Amino acid sequence: MHTLYRIQLLLMLLFAGSAAVAQKISYSEPEKDDYKSTEFEIIGKVGGNILVYKTDRGDYSVSVYDADMQLKDRIKLDFLPRKVISMDFVAYPDKVLMIYQFQRKDAVFSFCATMTPEARFNDAPVMIDSTRIGMYSKENKVYSMEVSEDKRRILVYKINQDKEDNNVFYTFLYDSAMTLVNNSRLSLPMAGRKQFLSNFSLTNEGDLVFNKLERTSNRDYVVSGNFVMKRALVDSFEVSPLSFKGQLLDEVKMKLDNNRHTALITAFYYKQKRGNVEGMYLYKYDYQNDKPLYEKSVVFSNELKMNARGESNTSSAFNDYFIRKVINTANGGFLLTAESFSTSSRYQPWNRWNYMYGAPYGGMYYSPYYYSPYSPWYYNPWYWNNSQGVRYHYDNVAVLSFDEEGNMQWNNFVRKSQYDDNADLYLSYLMVNIGSELRFLYNELDRRSYLLTDVSLAPGGKVTRMPTLRNLDKGFTWMPRYGKQISARTVLVPCVYRNYICFAKIDF
| Residue 192: other Cβ atoms inside 10 A | 9
CA pair distance 506, 469, nearest whole angstrom = 9
Q: Model confidence over 189-200: pLDDT tens digits? A: 998 888 999 999
CA pair distance 405, 327, nearest whole angstrom = 15
Q: What is the CA radius of gyration of the chain?
A: 24
Number of separate domains in the chain: 1
Task: State whether the Cα torsion 386-389-395-398 is positive or negative.
Answer: negative
3-state secondary structure at position 8: helix
Domain of 440 in residue numbering reads as: 1-30+425-508
Residue 204: which residues within 8 A CB-CB, separation 6 or more? 148, 149, 150, 152, 153, 258
| Residue 501: other Cβ atoms inside 10 A | 27
- 403 pLDDT tier (thresholds 50, 70, 90): very high
- Return the pLDDT at 76: 98
Q: What is the mean pLDDT of residues 363-372?
A: 52
Residue 8 maps to a domain:
yes
Residue 466 maps to a domain:
yes
Q: Which of 69, 77, 74 is nearest to 45 (CA)?
A: 69
Query: Which helix (H) or strand (E) is 484 found in, with range?
Result: strand 484-487
**Cα dist from 29 to 48, 217, 224, 450, 504, whole Å:** 19, 51, 51, 20, 10
Residue 461 maps to a domain:
yes
Residue 459 maps to a domain:
yes
Residue 171 maps to a domain:
no
- Return the pLDDT at 20: 40
CA pair distance 39, 392, nearest whole angstrom = 21
Q: Which residues partner with 74 through β-bridges?
A: 63
CA pair distance 188, 281, nearest whole angstrom = 25
Residue 343 maps to a domain:
no
3-state secondary structure at position 10: helix
CA pair distance 409, 414, nearest whole angstrom = 17
Q: Model confidence over 18-63: pLDDT tens digits? A: 444 457 999 999 999 999 999 999 999 999 999 999 999 999 999 9
CA pair distance 398, 395, nearest whole angstrom = 10
Pairing of strands 408-414, 429-433: unpaired
| 110 touches 101 (CB < 8 A) | yes
Residue 85 maps to a domain:
no
Residue 279 maps to a domain:
no
- Return the pLDDT at 468: 85
Q: Model confidence over 244-265: pLDDT tens digits? A: 888 999 889 999 999 999 999 9
Pairing of strands 490-497, 484-487: antiparallel
Query: Phi and psi (nearest 5°) for 23?
Result: -120, 30
